Structures are given as C-alpha cells and as structure tokens.
Structure 1
Amino acid sequence: MKRYGKLSVIAVLVVLTIGIYYIQPIFTAETKPEFTISEKKGNQELIEDMTIEGYYHENNLFGIGTDLEITPEGTTYYSNQPYQNQLQGSVSANKKMTQLQKKYRSFMRGKNYFLTNFFEDESILAYAEITTNRFSSVTEESEFKIEVLNKKTEEVLSYSVDFPKTTEYVSIYVEDVQVANNKLIVVTNGYASNKDDMQDEQHLYSIDLPNEKIEKDEKIQLDLVDVTGKQVQYVELINEATDIASAKFLVYRVVLEDTQIEMEINQGEQEIAPPVYGLIGVNVETGEQFLIDISKEVGSQGLGDTLPLENMTLYTYKINETSLSIYAYQLDQKELTEVESVALSKTQKKALKEGMTMQINEGLAFFVSSSNASDKDMQIMTFDSRSGELVLEGAIDEKASKSVKRDELGLYGILFQY
C-alpha cells in the first residue's frame, strides 16, 4: 500500500508540474502590461534618465509575480531576463556589470556577479569576496580573496587573507567594498552562532593593501540605538547597492520590535505593533560610529521610508496637515535641517500619502507612490529642495491591450542613469 501511496503522490506532483508549466504562460505572457513614465506638467528632461523599480503581481491566486523596471520608453520584466541577470536583482545593475565586463574583460573574468563586491574610482577597480563551501557556509578554510586593478598601468594586485573567527559564523556575505587611507574596507553581513541562537552581525574589515593583512575589524555598534524593551529584528545597509563609487559615510537602519506591545497583543489585543527604527552612521575613513537621532523631527514613519543619500547628506521627509517638509541630515556635521516646507494642494497631499518612495538627484526631490495604488493616485512629483518649487508632475501610464488592475503594481525604488 505504501508503494501505491508513493506512486499517487508522484502522479499528483507530475500533474501539478505540467499544469503550472502550461498555466503560468497564461498569466505571464498575456497579462503583463506595458507601463511608461510620462510628464504631465513641468520639465520633461527630468524624467528622461529616470527608472522606477517595482513589483507586478501577475496572478494573486497562484502567487505569480515579477520585479520590473519602468522608464519613459517602456517596461522591463526581470522574469524575461536571462537567469544570470536575474541574480543581480536589477536591470540597471546588469547594465553597469556589462560595462565593467566589456571594459575590463580580463579582470572581470571568474568573479561574482554582484556589484556589492566591487569598488571603483578614477584610479582603481577593486574586488573582494569571501570563499565559502558549496552550501554558502563559512569554513576553517574561508578567506578574503582580493584583486585590485590599477587602471593606468593595468597591473593587478591579487592576494588572499584568512577570514577571522571562521568557526563562529554560519554564513556571511559582502555587502559593500570601499577604499580609504590606502586600505580596502570590506563591509560584511552574516550570522554568528552561539549556544542560544543566531545573531545577525555587520562588520567593517580594514585590509592593509601594501601588507596584505587585516588591520582592523569593527563591528557595528547596535547598542548606539536605544533597545530598552525592544528586540532587534534586522539591520540593513541603506546605501545604494548598485553604486560602487566611493562613499564617505555608510548608514544602517536598525529595525526594532517593541516586546512590551507584542506581549500585550499575545494576551488578546488585535492591533498590529508597528516597528521602531533607529539609524547608525559610520565614517568610512575614521571608523567612527554615531547615532543619527532625528526621530523627534521626522517621526518613526520618516525613518522607515526610503532614505536617499547624496554625497554626505541623508534626506527624508514628513507630511504635515497642509505641507511637505523635506529634511537634510549632514553626516559630516551631524546636523539636521529642514531644507524646505512645501505647501500642498488637496490633490497633491492625496498623492503624497505615507509610503511614498523618495529619491534625491542633483538637489531635486522625486516622489513616487511606493504602495499599491489606483489610477488617480499613481503620481510622480518633483520639488526643488532648495526653493520648494514644484518642477514636475508626472504619471505612470499603462499601455495594455486590456485593462489590468493597478492594485497589482507596487513601486519601491527610483534610479537615474547617465
């Protein structure tokens, strides 16, 4: 009987596999709409190099969906890209990777397909990875593999450095690479194991280039954030993952769970406890870590939304009763200023609801709806952060043969390509 039971299970799996194989194209090829970015009022040139990242649910019943990128020319679906390109996680990131592979063909050969492993400036192109076993776990043999290309001489410096404390980490990956004071700084995120549980840890390893050794290991100091009565859920580096240029500062967002509220919910309350956020800044050159304490001014929502970085300035916003306040935090001065308070019409305020994605590009603040939105709410707005002037109103237009529900489209990022 057991034998026939197993055969029945196999038969069901075969039927389901074949069914999904034939059903999925119905929900992918036929229902994928074509979206474009359009200017409705203002400077058309501001959207020419703009890319909006999002996610499209092709069929909620089967859980089928795909990430996408929308430009003024049209839509690119990640699911239509080659598998290797999908690993990168961004069409724009793939474009940068392709540029590097064409320009530095020999140096790029055999390296990981993630921009987070690279650093580039006018003089060098650097690469760092941590070797792991086939299960992506750290072993006693794990090490940093470093390669640095001198763009002028075309010479390549290659060496390996033993990874420290290999027995204490279950897994680890490179989150960013920087160069400062003639040292390669490898930013990592991984899980350290102990007898009780696994803890997420973030480190900055400073590797001395001339001497080929780890000079300093700095762990991100999560205790800079007030965790009294709270539990750390996760920590994220908010610097743009596709930017491999030099960054003077790194910014981490610590997401906390209020354990007291969670206890009350478990005792019968139905209200969902919102997360609590904290921000930690890191000076890449000096290694200094500091608390970015701006929650009183911008509120918890302001810390939870997209926080764009431009040069040494961190931006956020707050929606008031009749206006939009744009804030700039100077990381080098550790000062927060309200850059501009913009008066909003009722229509603008409705569009600029909480959950908007914000991006700063050359002093201009771009806002796009980052949640599932209806046709009327699918707005793009751009303000000059220095004068408060509204310089662009735009929309995401749908070019489809048949109507597709807009609540199936979610937006979460803005990029600019030059």
Structure 2
Amino acid sequence: MKKYWKSCLISIFIVLVIGSFYIQSAYSASKLPDFFIKTVEGKGEEFKGITLDGYLNALGSEQPLEINRNSTKYQSERSYFEEIKDSETDSITIRNLQRQYPEFMRSSKQVFEDAFFEDDKMLVSAFVDFKYNKVLDSSFVIKVLDKRDEKVRSMNLPIPNVKNYAYVWVQEVQYIDGQLMVVSNNNPHDGENHEIHVYSFDIGKKKLLDDRTILSENDPTFDYIYMRQTDNSKENNYIVLRKQTVDPEKPAYINQPLFIYNLHEQVEVKFNIANSDIKNVNETGEGNYYDKNNLYILGIKNGTATVSIYHLAGLEPHKSIRIPLGGKEAFFTAHNIWKRQIYFASSEGEDSDKKLIIADLQNGNILYKGVVQSKKHINNLSATLQIHGITIDK
C-alpha cells in the first residue's frame, strides 16, 4: 500500500482542483443574466431547434454562451465530460449521425461533415489514412453502411502517385450515377502547386475508376475557399470555390472569379455573376451558400440584407430578394440557411438589441422576428452581448 500513497494523493488533489473549478464556475455563472427570445412577429414554432451562439463580455471576461428559445447555457456551466465530448466536433450533422449510427461512426473515426455522404439507402465515409515512410504512403479508407441490412463494407484503396504529394485531404464525398466521388485537396512537395482532384470509385467492386485533376494552380500565392453547403452530407452535383491570390505588396488577398464544377457532367460551369455580387462574395467571405440547385450570395445595404440567387445549371435568370433587418444602421452578425428558410442574427451596434429574423428564401417574406431579452438588467453588469453563430437542429 505504501508505494501507492503518492498516486492516491495526486488523484485526490486533481479531484479537489477540478471540483473547486466547477463550483467557482457555477457560482460565477449564477451571477450572469439568463437570456431568452421574445417573439415580436410570427409563430414561435419557427424558432424550434434553433440556438444562437455568442458570448457575453461581463465580469472582466468573455463568457461563451448558447441561447435557445427559453433559456441560456454558459460554457462555464458545462460539465467536464460535456466539454470533452463536444470538443470533438461542433457539427450538429455529425452529432446526429453519432446518435443514429454509433458503431459505424466510431469505426470511421471522422468528425468532419466533408467526409460523409448520406441518402436513404446508405451512409458513406471516406478519409485518408495518413502514413509516412520517408514519403507519404497513404490510402483512401472508405466505409459504406447499407441501411437496408445494416452491413458495413470497408475498403482501403491506394492513392495514385501518392508519393508526389506532401498531403492529401478529403474535402467532399458524393454518390452520383452509381459512382462514389471523392473530392480532395492535393499539395505536391514543391509547395508551389495547388491541385483539386476528383476520384471516382466503384464501391461494389472496390475499385478506383478515375483520377481527374479539375483545378491546378502553379502559384505559391494562390489559395481557395470552399463555399458553404446548406447540408454537406446530402447529395449535390456541384462544388463551388472562391479563388484568391495573396497580394505580394501587402498582407491582403486579391480575389478571383468563382470556380464552379459539375460533378455529374464532369465539367466546369461558367456563367455571369453581377459585379455587385462578386463584391459581396469578397466582402462577406464565408457568408455565401449553395445547395444542389442554387448559389446564394449575401450582402447588406442600408439595413437591408440582400440575397442573390443563381441557378447553378444556368437554366434560369438570377433573382434577388431583400430582407429588412432594422434601421439603416442594422447589419447581420450571423446567418444560416436551412431548407427554404434563411436566418439572420442582426444588430445596430454593440449596445443595441440583438434580433433573430427568419425569412422565406423564395420571396423574402418575414416568417419570424424575435428579440433577445434578459431576465436580469444586463446594464448593471456593464456587459455587452455578441451573437456570432446560428445553429439549426430540426
């Protein structure tokens, strides 16, 4: 027993420290205001499954928080085990898949939406098994869950010319016309070139069918950003990138045209985008979305949000909707798109009301308007509330 006394003391000390930390955190959180959403217009049901993510500048620090319809949860109130579990991913899609298919998700060891594809028949994950033996010696690991019989097929397939690359990263997984398509970012060893590949697989025969390079830039200043999909894990024939290069004279980006690729037709899609929308793409950065049919470009002018909608197949002229967010000084601090609705968190300044606005994505009609209110007087704390994200789980 003597040889274990030090270990016992260390364990007791750790328990006491962690316990003291959470008691202090809970005490601090009890002083903070409890926020809720007061409905101003529309039905409260529209707000079901929505969480506003943000932080409160109070008590000399930033307090991360989540606000739902009726209450607030501060990060300092979360248990140690909740923190460990949720630190793996902040993706609602991944958490839902983990709940529905726990064994498959554990075996896939992936926490990125980009690595999954799901339809009513199957769930697929694809990732790169990183191995180095002086050079990259990796392969694609593909797992397929057949929802009809719950059987899982696994396959390790080599990456063509893998030794030429410093790394290969899966960015998108789709199943189109009976083929699994894996979109990846490939960086050669020289660091000068940037490549995007589309690998096509026959998962029934466990065979690579094609390796197609769809974008290659031999420029060390070149970079690109994948635009946000409204649902990463669902079927989509397109990928959309925002291209940019670094200005060698100053630390800034020079933006380039969008790159749109049709995975079904295996061709680049080119159509005209209005100059004002190109400007909005560059100014709002990640504030743009696409789904299997449309590209959505967000902007703001005189307190009104604009959404330009372009049909990716180029079959229809683009249209624009306008959504008032408040007075002329109003702007959005967060946004999201889910199905046929668009969500904005808006404000007119640091000390002004924080609002939630939900609108119909087809015509801009307001479906819901709410304002964040506190059960305690926030001004007594010399505190300011900031909203930076909208999470949807319906």
Counterpart of 2:138 in structure 1 is: 142
C-alpha distance 332-76 of structure 1, shift in aligned 2 (>3 A): farther
Q: 1:98 to 1:35 in 2, by over 3 A?
A: farther
1:389 aligns to what? 365
User: What is the alpha-carbon distance in structure 2 between the residues aligned to residue 167 and residue 113 of structure 1?
Assistant: 24
The C-alpha deviation readout for 1:258-282, integer Å capped at 9, x for no partner, is 445x2xxxxxxxxx85753542222
Q: 1:88 Cα shift?
A: 1.2
Aligned-pair distance for 1:122? 0.8
Q: TM-score, normalised by structure 2?
A: 0.76
C-alpha distance in structure 2 between counterparts of 1:336 and 1:231, whole Å: 34
Cα separation, partners in 2 of 1:362 and 1:125, compared to 1, 3 Å: closer
Shift of 1:332: 1.8
Q: CA deviation at 1:76?
A: 4.9
Partners of 2:334 and 2:88 lie apart in 1 by 24
Instruction: Give 2:107's aligned residue.
Output: 110
The residue aligned with 1:101 is: 101
- Deviation of 1:59 after TM superposition, in Å, equals 8.5
- 1:374 correspondence with 2:355: no
1:253 and 2:250 matched: no
State the partner residue of 2:14: none
Tell me which amino acid in the other structure corresponds to 1:281. I
Superposed displacement of residue 379, structure 1: 2.1
Paired position in structure 1 for 2:336 = 359
Structure 2 equivalent of residue 417 of structure 1: 393
- 8 Å contact kept, 1:175–1:188: yes
Counterpart of 1:379, as a letter, is K
Which structure 2 residues correspond to residues 187-198 of structure 1 after superposition, within 5 A? 187-194=183-190, 197=191
Partners of 2:228 and 2:106 in 1: how far apart? 29
Query: Which residue does the alignment assign to 1:221?
Result: 215
Structure 1 residue 24, shift from structure 2 partner: 10
Deviations 1:36-72 (A, max 9, x none): 44422223222112233446678887xx775x54321
TM-score normalised over the length of structure 1: 0.72
Pair 1:356–1:169, CA change in 2 (3 A) = same
Candidates 275, 278, 282, aligned match of 2:261: 282
- Structure 1 residues 25 and 243 mapped into 2: Cα distance closer, same or farther (>3 Å)? farther
Question: Which runs of 5 or more structure 2 residues have no equivalent in the other structure?
Answer: 1-16
Q: Which residue identity does 1:330 align to in structure 2?
A: H
Corresponding residue of 1:244: 233
Contact 2:34 2:374 in 1 (8 A): yes
Distance 1:368 1:322, change over 3 A: closer
CA contact (8 A) 1:258 1:276 kept: no
Residues 17-416 of structure 1 aligned to structure 2 (within 5 Å): 30=28, 34-54=34-54, 69-76=66-73, 80=78, 81-90=82-91, 92-102=92-102, 105=103, 107-114=104-111, 115-133=113-131, 139-194=135-190, 197=191, 199-221=193-215, 231-240=221-230, 243-259=232-248, 262=250, 276=255, 278-291=257-270, 293-305=272-284, 306-321=287-302, 324-333=305-314, 337-341=318-322, 344=324, 347-351=326-330, 353=331, 356-369=333-346, 374-398=350-374, 407=384, 409-412=386-389, 414-416=390-392
The superposition leaves residues 356-385 of structure 1 with CA deviations (integer Å, 9 ceiling, x where unpaired) of: 43333343332224x995241522223334
SS in 2 for 1:376: coil
Contact 2:239–2:262, Cα closer than 8 Å, also in 1: yes
Unaligned stretches of 5+ residues in structure 1: 1-18, 263-271
Identify if the C-alpha distance between structure 1 residues 188 and 274 changes in structure 2 by more than 3 Å, giving closer, same or farther: closer
% same residue: 21
Which residue identity does 2:308 align to in structure 1?
Y
Post-superposition CA distance 1:216-273 (Å, at most 9, x none): 22334266xxx9xx94344334225x6422122222222443445x2xxxxxxxxx85
Instruction: Determine the C-alpha separation between the residues in 2 that align with 1:336 and 1:326.
Output: 14
Using the alignment, how far apart are the partners of 1:55 and 1:162 within structure 2? 45
1:374–1:406 CA contact under 8 A, matched in 2: no
Tell me which residue corresponds to 2:12. Answer: none
Q: 1:317 to 1:129 in 2, by over 3 A?
A: closer
Distance 2:168 2:71 in 1: 37
| Aligned CA distance change for structure 1 residues 166 and 24 (closer, same or farther; 3 Å) | farther
Give the alignment's Cα RMSD to 1 decimal.
4.0
* Other structure's SS at 2:153 match: strand
Change in 2 beyond 3 A, CA 1:163/1:340: same
Paired with 2:342 and 2:170, the residues of 1 have a C-alpha distance of 30
Greater per-residue strand proportion = 2
Residue in 1 aligned with 2:11?
none
Contact 1:185 1:204 in 2 (8 A): yes
Distance 1:151-1:362 versus aligned 2 partners, 3 A rule: closer
CA distance in structure 1 between the partners assigned to 2:33 and 2:197 by the alignment: 42
Secondary structure of the residue that 1:221 maps to in structure 2? strand
